[in-house]
Amino acid sequence: MNKKAILGILLAIVMPFTGYWLVKYYSEKAVHIPQRYFYDSVVVSEKDGRKISDTIWHKVKNMQFTNQLGKTVTLDSLKGKILVIDFFFSRCPSICPGLAKSMQRLQRSFINKNDSIVQFISVSIDPEHDSTVQLRNFANRYTANHDNWWFVTGDKKDIYDFALHELKASIADTDVDTAFIHTENFFLLDKERVVRGWYNGFDTVKQARLVQDIPLLMLEKNKKKTFKEFLKELFG
């Protein structure tokens, strides 16, 4: 067995426990919550003679896609979920299989623990070719849970606008070709659909950070719940 295969197995085993220990640590000490990226404006107001600045963070707009099951799906239907989004195309011979394996490991870390926590979305950048049949075959190759890991297609212009203007893919990856969005990054969005980070799908350190950041964002949005209730929600 080669080193990459061994590393993949170790990551699949370790990832589910990483989130637990980080959340445990958060319950005892202050932990740095993932920062917000990309603001639309700053509103300045005055109160009691003092100027107060309020940052209006960019919220990714709703998108409509068709998933691997031929269903029309929207981001609005995922209200209350953390989103992890990447870009691929089914004929890709280079980075896409590796990115799909990384996403598969992420799925195994969270799916079946609680389906309400996180949604994984792989968006095709070759919608003319990637029919629902092609998407379903690709999804099955990586044993995707079809409910919680969508492989989606749609209008090409809408998809590229989504990548460039909503997720700011060309800012997160300055080497990305804006005419063909072939990025190695996974994009993390919180429940308000604000971008909270991007993580290279081939960098094991960045992937470990992503596994840690997902439950932190859940904790950030569930402050009314007890820590015990949160752990039960996260790990079943």
Q: What tens digit of pLDDT does each residue of 9-19 get?
A: 555 555 555 55
* Residue 45 or 148, more confident: 148
Segment 167-181, tens digit of pLDDT: 999 887 777 777 888
Report domain extents, the chain.
3-235
Segment 189-201, tens digit of pLDDT: 999 999 999 999 9
Sheet order of strands, 82-88 included? 149-152, 118-124, 82-88, 185-189, 195-200
Shortest CA distance to 110 belongs to which of 67, 150, 149?
Answer: 149
Shortest CA distance to 123 belongs to which of 162, 91, 81, 168?
Answer: 162
Segment 222-234, tens digit of pLDDT: 555 555 555 555 5
Of the pLDDT bands very low, low, confident and very high (cuts 50, 70, 90), residue 149 is very high
Can you give the pLDDT at residue 9? Answer: 52
**E strand map for 103-181:** 118-124, 149-152
- Domain topology for 3-235: Glutaredoxin (3.40.30)
Instruction: Say if CB 176 and CB 200 are below 8 A apart.
Output: no
Segment 80-123, tens digit of pLDDT: 999 999 999 999 999 999 999 999 999 988 866 555 789 999 99
Task: Give the number of C-alpha atoms closer than 13 A to the C-alpha of residue 206, restricted to the C-beta side.
Answer: 15
Residues 6 or more apart in contact with residue 111 via CB below 8 angstroms: 145, 148, 149
Asked whether the predicted pLDDT for residue 28 surpasses 50, the reply is: no
Is residue 159 classed exposed, middle or buried when 0-12, 13-18 and 19+ CB atoms within 10 A define those classes?
Answer: buried
Tokens 């799925």 appear where? 107
Shortest CA distance to 17 belongs to which of 231, 185, 229?
Answer: 231
Can you give the pLDDT at residue 17? Answer: 52
Can you give the pLDDT at residue 54? Answer: 85
Tokens 């960098």 appear where? 203
Tokens 């990856």 appear where? 173
Structure tokens at 205: 């350190």
Segment 46-69, tens digit of pLDDT: 888 788 888 889 999 999 999 999
